[in-house]
Every structure is written in C-alpha cells, then in structure tokens.
Structure 1
Amino acid sequence: MPEYFGQTPTGLAVIVFAAFIGGVVRGFSGFGTALIFLPIASPYLGPFGAIIALTVMDIFGPIPNLRRAWAVVDKADLVRLLFGCALILPVGLWLLTRTQPEVFRYLVSVISLLMLAVLIFGLRYRGKVRRRMVVAIGGAAGLLGGVAGIPGPAVIMFYMSRPLPVTIIRATILLFLFAFDLLILGYLSGMGRLSVASVGLGLALAMPNMAGNWLGGWMFRPEHERLYRAAAYLVIATAALSGLPLWG
C-alpha cells in the first residue's frame, strides 16, 4: 500500500480530517485547533510529528489579523508572556523527549478535558495581577506547549478572567500563540527534530485547516453562540476521549 508523508491513505485521511475539523471548531468558537488535532493525529504521527504538523499548519491562519492585533495589544504584557514562555519551553521539550508516546497521548487528552471543564464551568482567576504573575503564566504555557503541544490553556484562562476589553484579550492570545509557533519551530530546529516530511505535511494540512476556519466562520451566527460553543465542546470531548491509548 502506498504511503504519503510516511502515512497510509487511511492514516493521512484521518489526519486531514482532524486538521479540517480543528479549523471548523476554531472558526466558529475562536479556539480549539490543538485540542482537536493533537488527540486524533498523535497516534499516527507521534508526539513530535503531531506538534510539528500542528505548528506549521496553524502558523498561516492568524497572519491577516496580526497588524490589527498589534495595534491594540498590551505590548509590555505580551513581552512578559513570551519571556516566561521562551525560558521554560526548552524544559517542556526536554521532558517530551523522555516521554513515551502513550504518556503523551494521555497528557494531551487529559489537558484537553481539563480545559474543556474549565470552559464549561466558567472557572476564573479573580485575584490581583502582578507583573511576575504574567511571566509565570507565560512559563506555564511554555511548559504545557513543550511537553504536550498545548500552550493555550494557561494564557486563555488567565486572560479570560481579567477585566479587559475583549479586543485586547483576543489580540494578546492571538499574538502569543503566533509567537509561540515561531519559538517552538526554532527550538525544534535546534534540536534537529524538523524534517522535510514533517514540515511538508504541515504545509499540506494548512489548506484543509484554513478551509475549516472559513467554513466555521461562515457558519457562525452571534445569536446562536451558545449552540456553536456547545457543539465545539462536544467535538473537543470526543477528540480527547478518542485519543486515549485505552482504545489501542
């Protein structure tokens, strides 16, 4: 049976489907690509392969919105987040090199389900925010991003809890995740983990992912936000549970 990017046609079809559905969920809910893609794709690609494919395909989506986000973001806070992330991300990647693929799949699924629970129950941090706390949040994102490929939960939960305009919250999350993609690609390149096949697969997946983003955005109607978010939560839960090694 022929292979494409090191995958059988069936495996590649599942990976493309995960990229597309991740885009749809992000298009109508504003989040969820990694929470969908990693649990489904990591059994086929392995930890590093799944993270590389996700990072490369996901790096193109935010580009049209970068200038507008940069105009409103709190640049000092963004620098603090990225400083903490850059400091701790190598630790997360080092831990990943010593993590078995089955453990990685458990980590991804458990973190996805925990993030889902936080979103559903609306848990928030209500305390006072200090500069060192922002650096620590960036460090937590770097650790989670390195060891499990999911940097978003720490930053999303932290900023969603702050009494800031939604434009600043969205801009901070968008720019942080875009910069994280560049950071992790740089670190992975330095570790010799990037390959033509893994980067090529990520580039190939960018098209179905962007198509999913477009479809999700087209489907979204503000008056049905609750319905769409509920659908996104259901898809994330299904993907997280399906990614558990319990099923083989």
Structure 2
Amino acid sequence: MPEIMTDILALEGLGWLIAGVFLAGAVRGFSGFGAALVYMPIAGQFLPPLWALITLVIMEVFGPIPNLPAAWRAADRAQVARIAVGGAVALPIGLAVLLAVQPEVFRYMVSALVLIMPILMLCGLRLAGPITPRLQYGTGVVSGLVGGIAGLPGPPVILLYMASSTAAAVMRANIMLYLVVVDLTLIVVISLTGRMEAVPLLLGLILALPNLLGNLAGAAMFRPERQRLYRMFGLGVMMVVGLTSLPIWD
C-alpha cells in the first residue's frame, strides 16, 4: 500500500485530476450526466486509457450515491433496465477495442466525442414518436460500445432523452441510474479480464471524495425551472475541456 500511494502521489497532473473530478461531479449533480465528458479528456492527458476508465468507474460508483434515492423514485426504471441490457451486451466488445488502441488514438476519440456531443444537443434533434422498447435496447447497444471504447456511455442515452418529450426530472433520473449501472457493469467486466490494477483502483477511490463533493454541490444548485441555464453551462464546460485536451496542444 505505501508503494501504491507513492506512485499515486508521483503522478503528473494529480492536481488537475482532482480539480477535474470536482467539476465533473458538479456537472453531473445538476444535470444527471456529463461527468465522464468532463473527466475523460482530462484523465486522458495524464493516465493510460485503461487507467482513466478504471478511475472513472470506481469514483462514479460512489459520487452519485447521495442523489440516487431521489433518482430511483423519479426514474422510469423499466426504460433504464432495457437500455442497461443493451449496454451490458456491447460493453465487452467496446472494451476489447479500447485495449487494442494507442493512448494518443484514445485521446483523439474521447475529445472528438466530447466535442460532437454538445454540437448535436445544440442542433435541437427531436424524436417524431415515443421512445419505443426497440429504440431503448438499440441505444443501450450503442452506449455500451462507446462506453467500452472511450469510457463515455452517456452520449447516446443523453441524446435519446434530449430528443424526446421526457420531463426534465425523469430524464435526469433515468440517465443518472443508467450510468451507475454501466459503471458497475464495467467494474465486473474489467475484473473478469484480470486488468483491474491496484494503482488506478486506489486512485479512483481517492477521487471519489472530490467527485462526491462535486455531486452534492451540483445537486444543491439544481432547479427544474433553470434547466436551460444549467444545460448551457454543462455544454460549455464540455466544449472547453474537449478542445483543450486535444493532443495537438502537447
């Protein structure tokens, strides 16, 4: 354990990781999503791809805990379950791709997804009909692939709900519950592959504290009537993080 702590304290960019985690938690606390979109581009600058993914899923299991009871009550749990089934099927495939790519390629993929996400959301995409079970399963499959490849399972699900007429409180709750399920699934899959390493595991537990504090701060700011303001702030944060984390600035 002392050796592992020494390795963690010696990590380049540890302060940036902690600050990024708090900001990511705050964005998720008031919007129900966005933590990975903020954290992964930052983590990709300082950690190997798999370590970035491990720290994300470990800290994200603990960070949203204070907000989960309210999310459980507000969510459409049947929808969450269908999306989660699709995600669980595709996650191992996406993870296999992640393990095969170079770190720089990983950073470009993450930054590209982070930049595309707010652009698509600002385009005002709208579903012509209801969110059918088939659409829920399909979105889960796409989410699982993206989650395994880049640690970003949220964008497909976020786009689905943003394009629908789902009420803000239900949308926030559904996304929050789904992301927790995905994090737990990723922990199981990574553990079964034998790649759950001690340093990123402990680092993820350490980062869970600023993530928890960020979630609490974000939840305290959440007001349904101010959803547009919070959404625009979250999108702005994502775009800034995505741009500044591109490898071309190294």
- Aligned-pair CA distance for 1:204: 0.5
Count residues with an aligned counterpart. 247
1:1-248 matched pairs, under 5 angstroms = 4-6=6-8, 8=10, 10-219=12-221, 225-248=227-250
Deviation sequence 1:129-161 (CA, Å, 0-9, x none):
432221111000000000000000111111222
What is the identity, as a one-letter code, of the residue corresponding to 2:164? R
TM normalised by structure 1 equals 0.89
Bigger mean CA offset, 153-162 vs 182-191? 153-162
Check conservation: 1:15, 1:40, Cα contact below 8 A: yes
Check conservation: 1:4, 1:12, Cα contact below 8 A: no
Distance 2:221 2:101 in 1: 39
Distance 2:53 2:80 in 1: 23
Check conservation: 1:39, 1:105, Cα contact below 8 A: yes
1:223/1:149 Cα in 2 relative to 1: closer, same or farther (>3 Å)?
same
What is the identity, as a one-letter code, of the residue corresponding to 2:120? V
- Aligned-pair CA distance for 1:42: 1.3
What is the identity, as a one-letter code, of the residue corresponding to 1:194? M
Distance 2:34 2:133 in 1: 28
1:137/1:125 Cα in 2 relative to 1: closer, same or farther (>3 Å)?
same
Check conservation: 1:5, 1:198, Cα contact below 8 A: no
Deviation sequence 1:168-214 (CA, Å, 0-9, x none):
32222121111000000000001111122111101111111122223
What is the identity, as a one-letter code, of the residue corresponding to 2:148? G
Report the 3-state secondary structure (helix = DSSP H, G, I; strand = E; otherwise coil) of the residue aligned with 2:166: coil
- Aligned-pair CA distance for 1:33: 1.0
Distance 1:219 1:134 in 2: 30
Bigger mean CA offset, 64-73 vs 20-29? 64-73
- Aligned-pair CA distance for 1:164: 3.0
Bigger mean CA offset, 99-108 vs 16-25? 16-25
Q: Aligned-pair RMSD on alpha carbons?
A: 2.3
Distance 1:130 1:219 in 2: 32
Deviation sequence 1:215-237 (CA, Å, 0-9, x none):
33445566765444433322211
Runs of 4+ in 1 over 6 A off after TM superposition: none
| Percent of matched pairs sharing the same residue | 43
Distance 1:74 1:217 in 2: 20
Report the 3-state secondary structure (helix = DSSP H, G, I; strand = E; otherwise coil) of the residue aligned with 1:197: helix
What is the identity, as a one-letter code, of the residue corresponding to 1:23? G
1:79/1:228 Cα in 2 relative to 1: closer, same or farther (>3 Å)?
closer
1:65/1:23 Cα in 2 relative to 1: closer, same or farther (>3 Å)?
closer
Check conservation: 2:144, 2:153, Cα contact below 8 A: yes
- Aligned-pair CA distance for 1:238: 1.4
* Structure 2 gap ranges (5+): none
Report the 3-state secondary structure (helix = DSSP H, G, I; strand = E; otherwise coil) of the residue aligned with 1:117: helix
1:53/1:94 Cα in 2 relative to 1: closer, same or farther (>3 Å)?
same
Distance 1:206 1:169 in 2: 24
Check conservation: 2:42, 2:245, Cα contact below 8 A: yes
* Structure 1 gap ranges (5+): none
